[in-house]
Amino acid sequence: MSGKKGLVVEMVDFVGAGPGAEDLITVRGMRLLQEADCIIYAGSLVNPELLSYAKEDCVVYNSAVMHLGEVLEVMEHMEAEGKHTVRLHTGDPSLYGAIREQIDALKKKGISCRICPGVSSFCGAAAALEAEYTLPSVSQSVIITRMEGRTPVPEREKLHSLAQHGSTMVLFLSSGMTERVQAELLRGAYTEKTPCAIVYKATWQDEKVIRGVVGQLCKLAKENHITKTALIVVGDVLGDDYELSKLYDKHFTTEFRQGTDSDQSK
Ligand code: SAH
């Protein structure tokens, strides 16, 4: 099916809404919203301002009050009428988005779908913190994980195990469990003094950035009444020590630039 403005439209498009601010959706995501006959949005976290991109006669559902079967039923009904549904997920749909179960169910029903990526909240949090998660000589890896809640975490991924790496870590879905998070982090390579931050509603109008150290994590969350819609960022990349990059070192030769001396051993 071919939509207006030359965009090829599948029957169901999973679209990443971005972390909050309505202008942080991708241009493609915005166009898909403009063309949709139906939008099912994750009302607990998606900025409702994004719905202003919808056509006047677009049918809008809030998935926060629906179960999987109901969501699929709407998609199936729309498809039967030859209509285009946008399933709008917060951040990027690949992270804690519960999209796999929808995609597989749609495939079984012979309904085609496509995914439009979005700016994840962990990127929004980095922007709020003015942080680079991968600082030379500090950390070259980012662990994205969560504290176990009602959704179990596989044994090999328990927080204290992942914390052994001491790398940059971003915790989703965990700001209501900071006492346990703090204890688990301290069982790993982080110390009481390792820098950490809580970023509440990154990129929203009421964004809040709270900086501290791992030893104060639980206290900081309590003092600021943070229990949800927040990320916990941990690691020495939030500190002040790092090395300058090789990439922009004037002595470093790359495919695109000749360094000012011939030391190629870096
Ligand atoms: N797919 C989303 C994550 C969905 S899980 C993404 O890529 O961002 C929901 C969790 O994401 C929340 O509990 C919170 O931990 C985090 N989250 C989502 N939006 C956020 C925001 N704007 N600021 C801080 N955390 C956010």
| Chain mean pLDDT for the chain | 94
100-108 and 68-80 helices, crossing angle to 10°: 40
35 with 78, same domain: the answer is yes
Q: Does the beta carbon of 121 lie inside 6 Å of ligand 1?
A: yes
Per-residue model confidence as pLDDT tens digits over 153-193: 999 999 999 999 999 999 999 999 999 999 999 999 999 99
Kindly state whether residue 263 falls inside one of the protein's structural domains: no
264 or 107: which leads in pLDDT: 107
pLDDT tens string 11-47: 999 999 999 999 999 999 999 999 999 999 999 999 9
pLDDT at 152 exceeding the cut of 80: yes
Hey, how many other C-beta atoms are within 10 angstroms of the C-beta on 87?
27
How many Å lie between the centroid of ligand 1 and the Cα of residue 19? 7
Number of separate domains in the chain: 2
Classify burial at 164, counting beta carbons within 10 Å of its beta carbon; exposed 0-12, middle 13-18, buried 19 or more: exposed
Q: DSSP H helical segments within 17-115, as ranges? A: 27-35, 68-80, 100-108
Ligand 1 contacts CB of residue 92 (under 6 A):
yes
Strand partners, 209: 199
Cα 81 to Cα 62: distance, rounded to the nearest angstrom = 20
Q: Whose CA is closest to atom 6 on ligand 1?
A: 91
Is residue 126 located within the same domain as residue 104?
no
* Last residue of one domain, picked from the residues 119, 146, 162: 119
Q: Are residues 42 and 106 in the same domain?
A: yes
What is the Å distance from ligand 1's center to 231 Cα?
Answer: 7
CB-CB contact of 185 with 214 (8 Å): yes
Secondary structure of residue 208 in the 3-state scheme: strand
**CA–CA distance, 203 with 191 (Å, rounded to integer):** 29
- Work out the average pLDDT over 108-121: 96
Kindly report, residue by residue over 220-233, the tens digit of the pLDDT: 999 999 999 999 99
Residue with tokens 């879905």, as numbered in its chain: 173
Q: Report pLDDT for 90.
A: 98
What local confidence, expressed as pLDDT, does residue 246 receive? Answer: 85
Q: Could you tell me the distance, in angstroms and rounded to a whole number, from the CA of residue 97 to the centre of ligand 1?
A: 10
Q: How far apart are CA 123 and CA 263, in angstroms?
A: 35
- CATH number of the domain enclosing 28: 3.40.1010.10
Q: Which domain holds residue 230?
A: 122-238
Ligand 1 contact, 120 CB (< 6 A): yes
